A = this chain, B = another copy of it.
Amino acid sequence: MEVIDAIRNRRSIREFEKTDVSDELIEKILDAGRWAPSGNNNQPWRFVVVRQKETLGDLAGQTEYGDIIKNAPICIAVFLDKNSMYESTKDVLAIGACIQNMLLAAHSLNLGSVWLGEILKNKDIVARILKTPENYELMAVIAAGYPTKRERTSGRTPLEKLIYEAK
C-alpha cells in the first residue's frame, strides 16, 4: 500500500471480526513502531501485547471504551520507559511517531486499529494489571483486528487553516 494513501485513508476502527491476528502480523506492527525516530535515538518505547481474554477484560474495565478492548482480538499497550528518557516532550513526541508507525503498518496489512487514550486516566491500574516495571508509564493502548465492514468517516481542518504565515 502506498504511503500517502495509507496516511490519507487510515481511520480508527472500533469493531473487529472474531478472527485472530497472527503473531507474524503483530511482529510486523511492533517492528514498524521500533523504526520510529527518537531524540538521540533513545527509543523510549516499550510494548505489551495482550491477547488473553481475561486480561483484555481487566483492561476494558479501566475505560469507558471498554467494549472496544473486550471485543478486540489483540491490544498493544505502549509504554514510555522512564529509564530511557532524556527529555519529556521529545520522548512523548517520539512515542507518538512510534504509535503512528504501528497504526499505518496495521492499516497496510489490512488490519484495523484504534488508538485509545481515555484509558490513561487509569494508567497506574493498567500498569498493575500488566505487571509492568515501575519505570514504565502508559502512553496508549492500541486495539487491533480485522475490521468489520462499516462506513467510516472522519474529517480534518482544511490545510490553509493550519498554515501560519507571518504578516
Query: A-side interface residues toward B, CB under 8 Å?
Result: 1-4, 6-8, 10, 12, 27-28, 30-32, 34-37, 39, 41, 43, 45-49, 79, 87, 89-90, 92-101, 103-105, 107-108, 115, 117, 120, 130-133, 136, 139-140, 154-157, 159, 162-167
Contact = CB atoms under 8 A, between A and B. Distances in A.
Given A93-B139, A120-B89, A157-B34, A163 B47 contact: yes
Contact of A162 (B43, B133, B154): B43
A166 B45 CA distance: 17
Contact of A94 (B6, B46, B96, B105): B96
Contact of A7 (B49, B101, B117, B164): B101
B34 A156 contact: yes
A30 to B, nearest CB: 6
Given A30-B162, A100-B37, A93 B90 contact: no
23 contacts: A3-B107, A4-B105, A7-B101, A7-B105, A8-B35, A10-B35, A12-B37, A27-B159, A30-B159, A30-B162, A34-B157, A37-B103, A39-B117, A47-B163, A79-B164, A93-B117, A93-B139, A96-B97, A96-B98, A96-B99, A97-B97, A97-B99, A133-B164
A89 B139 contact: yes
A65 to B, nearest CB: 12
Given A93-B139, A101-B100, A7 B30 contact: no
A6 B8 contact: no
Given A94-B96, A96-B97, 11 more contacts: A1-B3, A4-B108, A8-B35, A27-B159, A34-B162, A43-B162, A46-B164, A79-B164, A92-B92, A97-B99, A97-B100
